Structure 1
Amino acid sequence: MNEPIQMVDLKSQYLKIKPEIDQALLSAVEGVAYINGPQVKSFAKSLQEYNKVTRAVTCGNGTDALQIAMMGLGFKPGDEVIVPAFTYIATVEVIALLNLVPKFIDVKEDTFELDYDQLESIITEKTVGIVPVHLFGQCSNMETINAIAKKHNLAVIEDTAQAMGAEYIFKDGTKAFAGTVGDVGTTSFFPSKNLGCFGDGGALLTQNAELGETLQIIANHGQRQKYRHETIGVNSRLDTTQAAVLEVKLKYLNDYSAARQKVARKYDEAFANIDGFITPKKAEYSTHVYNQYTCRIKNGKRNELKIYLQDKGIPSMVYYPIPVHLQEAYRVYGYNAGDFPIAERLCEEVLSFPIHTEMKDEVQDYIIENIVNFFKY
């Protein structure tokens, strides 16, 4: 390869829409409304319309979005929140920061989502919410999760940081975007996300107008009107320049999803018959937008394959090497090795390969050739 292979090629993506991005940034800079400028309001409205929700609230990052959601739903110290043991740390971090109690649950081996078949068995009188994580680009089984939540009067917060633009498919065939099916959807605009800005950013989505207003107030120091603080809030803002970038890129989100799906289909076909190599399963109740193309490498060969590819100039990533319940910071909650066997096994098997919107055929062919060759010997 003439150029280094990237997990995500952000430069090529930028160059393809450079004139629009540059003009948007210039307008934001020249407008000098660097905090809460018109671009922020415009993007929030566009995000609301794209997702067909009652309210979209922008904020500083995806972690803040999760915290604001839990604050807005009125979770109190000591309350339990159900969260998968196989997820990025932010999902659990905010639970701990708010002095809530993470109630870990194992995940499905094939789709990586929380094991909804175990949900009712871990609900207690202290449980107040469930956080399904739409990991790697597709939705969790929201109808089942929502039904259980309704039965036990629990709130549902969708962690949609990796699945913006994916669609949940209801049993009757209707569809709704990820993050719009539960009480609140949260997302991140970290640069490598399917909809990413040039720094940090996040948002919350809800169909509940009253809750949406509460989330907006919390994100702005707990104030609806300047210097009138009606509740405890935080300072979490999406920068005007980031909103300008996102306004442009939102127009291309469906194209970005289609491009990632095309890459994934080619990978799927190439790897279909490799023994011990399990490609991502597509759930029947969701489209998949492949924020990551994450496979399972069986028979203890994951790390060997990763090193082999590195020597060939091909990057790969392990999302995630240690389940949350075994992270040192979360040992205090009393969980041990063996408590969530599938999550623990996935941490030993998962490996993600390059996938992005500007993937060139020759680059993907080179990646495929080397992965296939590894399993020949």
Structure 2
Amino acid sequence: MYFYPESSFFLQAIPSHSVRRSLFEQYVKTRAEEERREKRAAHKAAIEGFRQLLDEASTDIDQHTDYRAFKKKWGNDLRFEAIERKEREGLLNERVLSLKRSAEQKAQEIRAAAASDFKTMLREREISINSHWSKVKDSLRNEPRYRSVAHEDREVFYYEYIAELKAAQRGDDHEMKARDEEDKLRERERELRKRKEREVQEVERVRQKIRRKEASSSYQALLVEKIRDPEASWTESKPILERDPQKRASNPDLEPADKEKLFRDHVKSLYERCVHDFKALLAEALSSEAATLQTEDGKTALNSWSTAKQVLKPDIRYSKMPRQDREVVWRRYVEDISRKQRHENYQEEKQRDYKT
């Protein structure tokens, strides 16, 4: 073994055996890692070189190429021998598989285009679901789109087209049925909405009627409290009613016309009560006894209004009766009494004549 003097120098510089051993092991480990990296880099370069070879040989590679044929032509290339056979076959098969997939996709596209043209031809010829293939194919033999399709695909495309027609027909029937169902559903929804609207309107109408009735009752109570004169006018009374602290005259559920009507009904009721009381007064005061009492000029309470007034004035029912109607009611009352008296006299005379 050759001994390097400088090695002895370095060994003497590191007197510890354990340190020297550790440094040596570290060196060996580092060197091994460097060799592995170099080997990986070389292998990677070899792989890349083989891929470049495949690119250069692309004109000789198609979807049918196998390893033996490729090796026969390119086996002497250094890039071919630079990697293991397993890797070469894998990379070649990967390239061939890609070409095969592309070819298959292209073939599918060509077949799909041919199928589309074939079905367009059938549609133009107005082929229906009731047509028969045996008759159809005879009528299409001279059609270029028929001949351009592979023999084994013609019947397949024909029955695909028939199936599509049937599916479309079923779809149309289903769509029509679905539309009918949708129309019926929309009609039911409209009816439900109308019914609900009517119910809401009816509920609101009932509520409004109740509110209006309550407002009318409240307003009538206000009239009883504030309006006691049967000769009261609407124009003069309206401001008085509107000053009500409870706002019974400004209820939104009561229309202005309704308020005026209630007012006039109330005043009419007051007037009728006054007339009723005044008639009762006449019946009490203008008795047969009062009728016999005459003034110096021969007037009685039954033939003279001025005389009757003197008899009636002390009673409050006289003052409550509207001034312009007192005499009118008195005259009607007197006429009724006179009519009754004449009728009674007539009956008495009739009975006397009958007895005689």
Q: Normalising by the residue count of structure 2, what TM-score does the alignment of the two structures yield? A: 0.17
Structure having the larger proportion of residues in strand: 1
More RCO (CA 8 Å, sep 6+): 1
Highest CA radius of gyration, 1 or 2?
2
Q: Normalising by the residue count of structure 1, what TM-score does the alignment of the two structures yield? A: 0.16
